[in-house]
Amino acid sequence: MKVDLELIQKLAELGPRKSFGFGLMEAARERDNVVCIGADLSGTCKTEEFRERYPDRFVNVGIAEQNMVGIGTGVAVCGKIAYCASFASFLSMRACEQIRTDAAYMNANVKLIAHDAGCTVGTQGYTHYAIEDLAITRAIPNMTVVSPSDGLSIAKMTIAIADYPGPVYMRLTGTRTPVVYETDYELKIGKANLLRDGTDVTIIATGSCVYNALQAGNELSKEGISVRVLDMQTINPLDEDAVKRASEETRLILTVEEHGLIGGLGSAVSDVIAGLGQSTRVVKLGLPNVFGPIADHVDQMERYELDIKGIVANVKKNYK
């Protein structure tokens, strides 16, 4: 995929769903074994172009996420790369057994595309929240879990997972994709990306929270607080070396994620710190373990201090 400023801007304007659709077409263009399995959400998941361009490589199973994952596993063990796309809440919970026992147990090349994770579609009520999905999927053996942050990284990750062996859960959050990566970059699954360096505080963010973390770091630097910002684009396997360096070189680690405070990025980072025997303080920002209110995405991010202002305030409160 040729990356230039025009493409970066285009992907930023497309948003998470269409950025995935763009990446899927790029992945399929050079790989004739890429197939797509849908659960009657082609319009929402932006797989219509794939369906029209490659009708013999597309299957719509209807509103049946369990069947989607089972069929995806079946074609994957026959040599295909199966992309299965649906809402994160339905994919991670309704099809959890099939993800575990079919895709993961078989270590099959099933790429699970989890749209609208976190509280992205909070206006549709808690049934459509997905604040437990990282806790679920990162606990499943053989499962790689990724969480790209902007339009470019979503498109690149969609392509990269085609060549990454085994099952992958790709989590998409947010309703918009402001630019995090202003130029092309090398994407490595399992490695965090250093967006800005610092010596006082490390903010480790993922998905929709990365842009806000980066902007917060820029604001805090104006007040004399040196902030390192890491885009933790892979939740499992976690980049433990990056976490270790942060614990050794900065005094506070703040994790920021559009996920529940139990079992997500913050828990994964805390596990690493505990194993190191370090005294580095870890503060977790995320969604509380409650059945949240009906509200739009912007309101939710502000409510739970996941916006720029909230991240800045939490660094100031916890940095001594």
Please tell me the number of Cα atoms within 13 Å of 49 on its side-chain side. Answer: 14
Cβ-count burial 233-261 (b if 16+ within 10 Å, e if not): bbbbebbbebbbbbbeebebbbbbbbbbb
Residues noted as catalytic: 65
Strand stretches in the chain, DSSP E: 34-38, 58-60, 81-87, 110-117, 144-146, 168-173, 193-196, 201-205, 227-231, 234-236, 252-260, 281-287
Task: Name the DSSP class of 265.
Answer: H
Is-contact 122 295, C-beta < 8 A? yes
First-residue to last-residue Cα distance in the chain: 45
